[in-house]
Amino acid sequence: MGSSKKNNVRTISQEAFDAFVKENIEDLGLDPTEALQDAIETLTLQGVDLSGIVTCIPGVSSVNDNPVIQCLDRLKEIDLNDSTMKEMTELLDKLCDLCSEEGSGNQSIAIRNGGLDLVISICSKIKVTNNEHEHALVSALKAMACLIYDLQSTEAFRKNDGTKIVVDILNSCHENIAILNSGFSVVAAAATGNELVKESFMDLKVDELLVQILRGKNKEGIQHPYDAIRVLLTADDGRVLASQVYGYARRFAKIGIVEALVSALHEGINSPNLISASIALKAVAVNDEICMSIAEHGGIDAVLLCIDDSGEQNNKIVAKSCCTLLCKV
């Protein structure tokens, strides 16, 4: 067992855990189920982090029977070509579904067994030349977003050059709504709680790409770009005393994000992007100059109209988001 730098949490390898269970059976005479339960309880009491450990009953199942492990093993075996693209898409979708199961621990299992590194590598290799390639890339990006959920995974994403890989994909496929949504869901997940990832995305000019997309004509069905803006402009990394997000907000404002976001407000209460746009605009409004720009572009009038309409339709969610924005500006 070792000790991690994060809060001095003790860790254990899969091999050491399996050996612990085996010793319980051979030395203490416990049956397999009791041996497993004793190992879990003992190590937990000792402060050992068991996240990512596959807990299986000896003689009944093994690590290789775990569906996440099976999925990853098969993805590692497949050569990336046209004949395997469909199977790869199905495996990536399955991996995403497994890692989305609340309380399953499957995210940790996938991370511990190289799942994020693998999916990043797959994304970097898929070149979209037909619909099957598009579907595979969308599935890979969705799986990647599912695997990024804490500081450890965001750091793994950064160290594997994930920021550049994702931004390159978004730049090359900026007219593909499905890829944009899944790609920006990765941006939002990876930048959450990690100042270095935010900085890396901004260095790659993701702000210019976001403004270009949101000022474009084809915005129907787009949601995650708004989420990405909110996360990029949120100071949520506890390791950092002075975040750069306020400077990022000013950068966004200088290149036209206010106009792009206010236009979503002008679409009214029936716009599917109204709430996301209002939350993103609130994150952008960091000083008086930006707030004045919001007013000059008709943002306050649009918000007031949405508040009136939300009252008539008894839409409390829209009313709350719009009132929160109004208080900020």
**Residue 152: C-alpha distances to residues 17, 54, 192 (Å):** 21, 19, 12
Q: Which residues of 106-136 are buried (b: 16+ CB within 10 A; e: fewer)?
A: bbbbbbbbebbbbbbbbbbebebeeeebbbb
Contacts of 27 (CB under 8 A, 6+ apart): none
Q: Dump pLDDT digits (tens) for 58-90.
A: 878 888 899 999 999 999 999 888 889 999 999
Helical spans, DSSP H, in the chain: 14-28, 32-45, 67-77, 85-99, 106-112, 115-125, 131-147, 151-159, 162-172, 177-191, 195-203, 206-214, 224-232, 245-254, 257-266, 274-284, 288-296, 299-312, 316-328
Q: Could you report the per-residue pLDDT of 136-192, keeping only the tens digit for each?
A: 999 999 999 999 999 999 999 999 999 999 999 999 998 899 999 999 999 999 999
193 token code pair: 């709680």
The pLDDT value given to residue 3: 43
C-beta of residue 148 within 8 angstroms of C-beta of residue 157: yes
Tens-level pLDDT at each residue, the chain (329 residues): 554 444 567 889 999 999 999 999 988 889 899 999 999 999 999 999 898 999 888 878 888 899 999 999 999 999 888 889 999 999 999 999 999 998 889 999 999 999 999 999 999 999 988 899 999 999 999 999 999 999 999 999 999 999 999 999 999 998 899 999 999 999 999 999 999 999 999 999 999 999 999 988 666 668 899 999 999 999 999 999 999 999 999 999 999 999 999 998 999 888 888 999 999 999 999 999 999 999 999 999 999 999 999 988 999 999 999 999 999 98
Show me where the domains of the chain are located.
Answer: 2-61
Among 95, 96, 107, smallest CA distance to 150 is for 107
